[in-house]
Structures are given as structure tokens and as C-alpha cells.
Structure 1
């Protein structure tokens, strides 16, 4: 099912005359409002220790409960990508981000409350104040460090994170 099929009423006037305009939008025949179904912004954090180990989390909830993940999540309204990744890292690990540097982005889909959300996942290389006191919080069951040469991208459950880890490993070998 296309996500637009889930939207029956015009969000502006409430009309039922809210029909498909094209593959990415619906248009209200009564008030003329056009709604575009766009990707939601999300972040993913690469956090490295000096010994070239990466902070990895284990997912506590579905989708992909029990698989490996990286800290991150949806960006809130009025947040920048940098603010969003810092907040998510803190909420999930208790670590405070000092610096974040944009690396790349990947499109993704994420099943949230049985609704398929299309996302644009922005990956950041983050430096934190301290790597000593990690806490697994929010939707994280566990957090731990894995040396880069021991990481298996196939253990990461979310498709964009798995692909992002592959890209990261290619660009950070022997740095």
C-alpha cells in the first residue's frame, strides 16, 4: 500500500474529496490544497574511541529488536541535524556530543507503529566529551564498543544503518 492511501481527508479543510495528484502527492478538489508525502529527517551517529573502536547499540524495540544499531533517531521540529544527533546520542547513551561532522545521507524506510515512514538518514561523525560512562537508555538495550576490524555490517538490522556502516568502514580503514 502506498503511504498516501492512508490519508483520506484533506488536512486543511477536512474534505473527503482528497485524491491522488501524482505518485508523491494528493490534492483536495474542494480547497485546492496539495499535500506532498516527503521523507522524515533522521540522524545516525558514528562515535569512535582513540583505539579505533565504534560505539554500537543493541535495539531494545522493534523494528529489528535485538539487532545491532548506532545511536540516532528522528529530528524534531526546529532542530538542525547537528542538534538532533546530539540529542539522540544523549537520550540513548548518556554521552554528550562536543562536535558533529556530517558524513553522508541514505534514504530508508522505517516501520513505526505499523506505519511505514520514509526517512532520509543523515550520518554524522561525532566527538563526545567522555567515552567512559555509557548508559543504555530509551530504545537501546545495550551499548558497547567494537573495534572497527571486528564489525560485521550484516549484524545491523536497519538497512540504511547497515549500508552506512559499510561506507564508513571503507573510508575509515587504518586511519
Structure 2
């Protein structure tokens, strides 16, 4: 896969076309000296269990991996904490209100959006919600429903970090 820095042809500070590879993580402008480091974007993933020990899953409404299973979550906005971001994403995608988000672990991922590989650092949170009786699939979710933990098949989930995260989460429960 082509490195994402190759997509950046012009300096984002001054617009110069003399924006060259500095090292494997950055480019530098020969005209103004600006150095741009390509770092991952922050994203969240919600692990929500109900009283029956079932996991809330969504069906993706959009590419990448449209139609496959997913977990609620998404990109963190500017000036937002991971906990705030996961709570917002859960509300936007399911209508559920997060009472508490407990950090679990992170996994790197590459999320291809509009043909561009977005490197992400996916933060997984175990979330407690106010109630689960009023789930509504919204935003990026075509459907939202609970699956018993014993029926979770990571291979049914379309994104690599979600599959890896489910394996890690489920093995920790054993």
C-alpha cells in the first residue's frame, strides 16, 4: 500500500510544491521549513453489554465494509476526549446515552475513506448505557441489535481492528 504521505503534494502551510520526504514519518517544505508528521487519527469503539450478556452490534450502512457487522464508534472530534467521543458516537448511531465509558485497550487500524488510507488508533471502551430498550439505527448504522456473546463471530465484522478487538475482548472474558 502506498504511504499516505505520498498523497500530500503541496505544503499545507505555504502551498509550495517543494514539499519533500523528510523521513518515513514526515515531509518538509524546502521553502518555509514546515515539517508535517503523519500521525494516526483517534477513533473510538464501544463495547456495550446488556443484562443478558449480549453485545450491541451494528450493521454498517456505508463503505468501507458496507453491510458487515460493526461496533458503535467513530472518529473523535477536535477538543473532545475519548470518553466524550465514544458517548457522542453511541448516541449518534444508536440513540443510547452512555453513563460511563471505561477504557479497555487500543489497536492500530487503516480505515480507507474515499480511497485514502486513514491510519487510526482505535480506543476500545466498555460502555454502560442508561437503558437499552430504545435502540435506533442512525447515522452510519443500518441496523443495531444485541447478539449473545456465544454467537459472536469476529469474521462477520468488516473492519480489521474490530475483529482483532473482539477476539481480545472475548478472550479476556473467559
TM-score (norm 1): 0.97
Structure 2 match to 1:60: 61
Structure 1 match to 2:106: 105
TM-score (norm 2): 0.98
Root mean square deviation, CA, Å: 0.6
Please list the CA deviations of residues 14-54 of structure 1 after superposition, one character each: whole Å capped at 9, or x if unmatched. 11111000111000111111000000000000000111000
Please list the CA deviations of residues 39-83 of structure 1 after superposition, one character each: whole Å capped at 9, or x if unmatched. 000000000011100001011111111111000000000000000
Residue 167 of structure 1: SS of its match in structure 2?
helix
- CA shift, 1:152, in A, is 0.6
Aligned residues: 173
1:1-12 mapped onto 2 (5 Å cutoff): 1-12=2-13
Structure 1 match to 2:36: 35
Structure 1 match to 2:143: 142
1:19-30 mapped onto 2 (5 Å cutoff): 19-30=20-31
1:20-169 mapped onto 2 (5 Å cutoff): 20-169=21-170
Unaligned 5+ segments in structure 2 are: none
Unaligned 5+ segments in structure 1 are: none
